[in-house]
């Protein structure tokens, strides 16, 4: 089970990184979203994995670690706010210049070897 979660985190990270390295704003935003999932699951799993032991107090004695959950909960909401800001910036730059390239166009033309 641990391997499944760890590999899921790894795959999300790899896919996120790859998309972040793309040249257009939209894939970069998707990449950042994937990285957000990866980071949230990563932080969450720092409380170790437990099945069927939610931190809702009852007669049971076995609970999972509630603290990472509380931290990740706010992280999820904040990451929505940040995604929205980044999307807005991307949109503004596209509407302003009719270009959704993430890199400075001057650099791309001056240093064509940068594409490699």
Partner 1 sequence: MSLFLIVALPFLGALLPGLMNSAGRAACAGVTFTFSLAAFVGLLSHAPAVFAGEVVQTGVDWMPLLGLNFNLMLDGLGFFFALLILGIGLLIITYARYYLSRKDNMGEFFTYLLLFQGAMVGIVLSDNILILLIFWELTSLSSFLLIGYWKHLPEGRQGARMALAVTGMGGLAMIGGMLILGQIVGSYDLSVILQNREMIQESPLYLPALILILLGCFTKSAQFPFHFWLPHAMAAPTPVSAYLHSATMVKAGIFLMARMWPVLSGTTEWFVIVTTAGLITMVLGAVIGLFKHDLKALLAFSTVSHLGLITMLLGTGTAFGAMAAVFHILNHATFKAALFMSAGIIDHEAHTRDIRRLGGLRKLMPVTFVIATLASLSMAGIPFLNGFLSKEMMLEEALHTTLFGSPWLVPVMATVGALFSAAYCFRLISHTFLGPVRDDYPAKPHDPGFGMWGPPALLVVLVVVIGCAPFLAEPFVKMVTASVLGTTADVPYNYLKIWHGLVPALYLSIVAVVGGLIVLALFKPLLRAWDAIPRPEAKVIFDALIAGCVSIARAVIHGVHNGAFSRYAAIFAIAVVTAGYHAWTTGTIAAPTRTVQPVDPVSIGGWLMLVVATCGLVFLHRNRLLSLILIGIVGLMVSVAFVYFSAPDLAMTQITVEVVTIILLLLALNFLPNQTPVESTVLRRVRDGAIAIAGGLATMAMAYHYLLRDAVTTPISEFHLANSYKGGGGNNVVNVILVDFRGFDTYGEIIVLGIAALLIYALTETLLNGPVRARLLNRLPDQPRAGDMHPMMMVVLTRVIMPVVLMVGFYIFLRGHNEPGGGFIAGLIVSIAVVMQYMASGFSWASARLRYPYHGVIGAGVLIAGLTGIGSWFVAKPFLTSDFTYVRIPPFEKFELATAALFDLGVFLAVVGAVMLSLESFSRLARRAHVEDSDHPMDIDPSRELNQEGV
52: left (phi over 0), alpha (psi -120 to 50) or beta: left
What is the separation of C-alpha 51 from the centre of its chain, rounded to a whole number of angstroms? 24
Residue 49: CB minimum distance to partner 1, A: 5
Residue 62: CB minimum distance to partner 1, A: 10
Residue 69: CB minimum distance to partner 1, A: 5
Angstrom CA distances, 38 to 29, 34, 46, stand at 14, 6, 12
Residues 65-94 that bind partner 1 (CB under 8 A): 65-67, 69-70, 72-74, 76-85, 87-92, 94
Interface with partner 1: number of residues (CB under 8 A): 93
Which tokens belong to 94? Answer: 């596209």
Q: Assess contact for 19 and 28: CB atoms under 8 A.
A: yes
Residues 14-33 that bind partner 1 (CB under 8 A): 14-30, 33
Dihedrals φ, ψ of 47, to 5°? -85, 10
Residues 46-65 that bind partner 1 (CB under 8 A): 46-58, 63-65
113 binds partner 1 (CB under 8 A): no
Residue 19: CB minimum distance to partner 1, A: 6
DSSP class of residue 112 equals: G
């Amino acid at each position: 089970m641990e391997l499944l979660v760890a590999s899921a985190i790894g795959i999300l990270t790899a896919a996120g990184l790859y998309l972040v390295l793309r040249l257009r704003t939209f894939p970069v935003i998707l990449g950042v979203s994937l990285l957000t999932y990866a980071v949230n699951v990563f932080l969450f799993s720092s409380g170790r994995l437990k099945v069927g032991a939610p931190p809702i107090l009852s007669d049971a004695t076995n609970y999972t670690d509630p603290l990472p959950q509380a931290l990740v909960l706010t992280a999820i909401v904040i990451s929505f706010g940040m995604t929205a800001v980044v999307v807005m910036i991307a949109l503004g730059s596209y509407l302003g210049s009719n270009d959704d390239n993430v890199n400075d166009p001057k650099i791309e033309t001056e240093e064509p070897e940068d594409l490699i």
